Structure 1
Amino acid sequence: MLVLEKILDLQIHYNQLESSKKELDKLEDDQEISKLERIYLSDKRNLERVLIAYKENEKNIRDNTRELENYRVKLNKTETTI
């Protein structure tokens, strides 16, 4: 009878350990998900900054191209008058 009680106690303790292990695994998974979410949000912000910089560069290229074309036109006018 004493052996059976010990076996039952060990079984109960084992089940508690298994349950605790599952909870710990779930917490670790939640922490990993949270970490991945932070990485995703950081990457998203960085990509948004890159997109803004790209658009600004695109605008600057158009402006510089327009200014270069204006100088080319002025140069051509100057050359024809000389």
Structure 2
Amino acid sequence: PYRILTDIVEMLAGLDRVAPGVNSAHTLLYGIEVKFYSNRIMLDRSLGTQIEGLYAVGDGAGITRGLIQASCSGIIAARSVLGKAR
């Protein structure tokens, strides 16, 4: 998304002031990790969205900050799906 791209460009400019040369034509960015902590989705207790059958789990949902929490959110959603299937 545009906002994230502009944030990356601004970050490189800021880093270049601290470590000159970081923001150069020779800088290669790869595997950029983007965290969406501030972008929260409206979820119920089972991490379900307002769309029936759609769950938001992991860091993309904006509620976890690490592998263990993200994994646990998947378990919570899976238990909800299994409970509805019974």
TM range, normalised to the smaller chain?
Answer: under 0.3
More helix by share: 1
Larger RCO, structure (CA 8 Å, separation 6 or more): 2
TM-score by length of 1: 0.26
Structure number with bigger Rg: 1
TM-score by length of 2: 0.24
